[in-house]
A and B are shown apart, each in its own frame.
Chain A
Amino acid sequence: MNSKPVSGPHVLTVRRVDAIMFKVVVALLPAVGFGIVLFGLPAFYLTVTTVAAALLVEAVCLNLKGVRVMPYLSDGSAVLTGLLVAMTLPPWAPWWIGVLGSVIAIILGKQVYGGLGQNLFNPAMLARVALLVTFPIEMTSWVDVSPLFTGISLADSFGITFGQSYSLDGITGATTLGAVKTGFSQNQTLSVLLSDYSGFLAFIGWERGSLGETSSLLILLGGIWLIRQGIIQWTMPLSVLASIALLSTLFFAIDSQHYLSPWVHLNSGALMLVAFFIATDYVTSPNTPLGQIIFGTGCGTLIFIIRTWGGYPEGTGFAILLMNAVTPLIDHYIKPRIYGRYRDGKPIEIQNP
């Protein structure tokens, strides 16, 4: 039987899960590629390992669940989760960090709730926070920029990801946010701390940071492409970015030596990635435009609060998880108006002409 409508003004679109996931992955690839160029082959190995582990764990879970593996595995959601986990890791992290991240994301973040569409928390952020809490040293070892094929030999780069130790380390240092957090605790002012900070380099991503988070430019381009494709709504990223920009502008205007400028905030850490690719997760964010604005503003505000006054230099993961937990509440109170009824559910009176 042909299910396509035969007459009338119908527009046929293919919006299947795998198509959406594929487009999101494509939008992420430039940032991942840039991360690999920036940090060399270890970053590539880590990405491949993490994605492969995500696929494997997903297949095992689906098998245990007793459903046919291939149709679900090929929807691409596991690839996307693995890729997002890899992007939030330090580029020279050992392979088991990536594997463990995928295991946490897929099993604890997704499958225990019942699989795709059932999870309360964003799997990738859950994995990132669990890893950060559990392995604080590995998760905060940021390697200096060492572009592909320039620094280390092929064998050494293999050893960094799969070897036992960090003996052939590149030079490591703190990220901008980490350095500022440490500096503030030593009563230094921003003009000293950010003396060699380049706003332009931070924007294109030529700085220390997580594997796929450094380049604001490429993530921004990917995100805008997704908005143009209709995969994500502009409300969510805009409300995240606007709220943090507004707050940081306000505090920067009050005291420019002790509060980071909005430009630093916007181009540091995982903010761009979170705004465009994590907060917009269909499953764990509110459904209505107003709900999304509340969610995004909450995320941005929490990120600013944690970055500025919290114990961790970066708070995007925590902010997302906290707002994920509030999402059911937002969806409970913010409901779209039903056609023919007022917002409170009462029917609109019919007025006879």
Chain B
Amino acid sequence: MNLSILLSEPYRKITRDGLWDNNVVFTQHLALCPLLAVTGTATNALGMGLATTVVMVASNGTVSLARHLIPSEIRIPIFVLLIAALVTLVDLFLNAWLHELHKVLGLFIPLIVTNCVILGRAEAFASKQPVMLSLWDGFMMGAGFTLAMVALGAIREISSAGTLFANASVLLGESFRFMEITLLPDYRGFLLTALPPGGFIVLGFLVAVKRMIDQRIQAIQTTTPIRSVISSDTEEEVAP
């Protein structure tokens, strides 16, 4: 397969949407339940993000493959059945090969079924688009979700325990032990961010930062070239 196809326009738009413009968490504000439940540490967030990504790619692929067979009247139950089967597979897989992680994420893996993002992408994208695009969309949406999860998990873990990616070797194998960093030795811990309200607060700030960056980008884009040359100094102050 020619990989340069991923740089063509529809793929690039999907990439941009998934990672930033239409990010599952920061823009669509979906999937907040797993987001807040397992982002206590960056490692758990990464594990959950990866598992969700796998399910999303698989579900987008199967839904897209079967899109001409599924009668539109009963498409939602079929999507749910497909997703449930895939989640069961992931659940069993994790239990068999990544048992330690399964113990941590155990409760939340079956809940991937209820993750509205997966059904949302199946309904909004995969049921209308060709297979390759759908797979790529599932992958990029999952990547964006993982990115948001890890960002939130990292901030919460650093501020509440002073470590980053603690127990990453359990998730990814011994060779990834280098990821485990203790940033603040003897750190007392800001317990609030480890608790659910702290998750909401940190998420709120992350969304605010994302919007701020978007506004900056928009301000730069809407400025005409001539004006930007003249007032490039003052523009910085005007932008919020």
Contacts of B188 in A (CB 8 A): 135
Q: How many residues of chain B have a CB within 8 Å of chain A?
A: 8
Give the distance in Å from the alpha carbon of A66 to the alpha carbon of B192 in the complex: 29
- Whether, in the assembled complex, B195 has its beta carbon less than 8 Å from a beta carbon of chain A, the answer is yes
- Whether, in the assembled complex, A194 has its beta carbon less than 8 Å from a beta carbon of chain B, the answer is no
Give the distance in Å from the alpha carbon of A112 to the alpha carbon of B204 in the complex: 10
Chain B 196-208 near chain A by CB (<8 Å), digits 1 or 0: 0000010010000
- Whether, in the assembled complex, B190 has its beta carbon less than 8 Å from a beta carbon of chain A, the answer is yes
Chain A 281-304 near chain B by CB (<8 Å), digits 1 or 0: 000000000000000000000000
Give the distance in Å from the alpha carbon of A130 to the alpha carbon of B190 in the complex: 10
Task: Give the interface SS of chain A, mostly helix, strand, loop or mixed.
Answer: helix
Give the distance in Å from the alpha carbon of A108 to the alpha carbon of B208 in the complex: 13
Q: For chain B, residues 160 to 216, give those with C-beta under 8 angstroms from any C-beta of chain A.
A: 188, 190-192, 195, 201, 204
- Whether, in the assembled complex, B240 has its beta carbon less than 8 Å from a beta carbon of chain A, the answer is yes
Contact of A133 among B191, B201, B204 (CB under 8 A): B191
Give the distance in Å from the alpha carbon of A133 to the alpha carbon of B188 in the complex: 13
Q: For chain A, residues 83 to 97, give those with C-beta under 8 angstroms from any C-beta of chain B.
A: none
If the complex has contacts A108-B201, A112-B204, are A133 and B192 also in contact, measured as CB distance less than 8 A?
yes
Do B204 and A130 have beta carbons less than 8 Å apart? no
* Shortest Cβ gap from A204 to chain B (Å): 35
Contacts of B240 in A (CB 8 A): 66
* Shortest Cβ gap from A118 to chain B (Å): 15
Give the distance in Å from the alpha carbon of A130 to the alpha carbon of B194 in the complex: 12
* Shortest Cβ gap from B51 to chain A (Å): 30
* Shortest Cβ gap from B94 to chain A (Å): 32
* Shortest Cβ gap from B198 to chain A (Å): 9
Give the distance in Å from the alpha carbon of A332 to the alpha carbon of B195 in the complex: 31
List 9 additional A-B contacts (Cβ < 8 Å) besides A112-B204, A134-B190, A135-B188.
A66-B240, A108-B201, A130-B192, A133-B191, A133-B192, A133-B195, A134-B191, A134-B192, A135-B191
List residues of B whose CB falls within 8 A of some A CB. 188, 190-192, 195, 201, 204, 240
List residues of A whose CB falls within 8 A of some B CB. 66, 108, 112, 130, 133-135
Interface pairs (10), CB distance under 8 Å: A66-B240, A108-B201, A112-B204, A130-B192, A133-B191, A133-B192, A133-B195, A134-B190, A134-B191, A135-B191
Q: What are the 6 closest A-B residue pairs judged by CB atoms, nearest first?
A: A134-B191, A134-B192, A130-B192, A134-B190, A133-B192, A133-B191
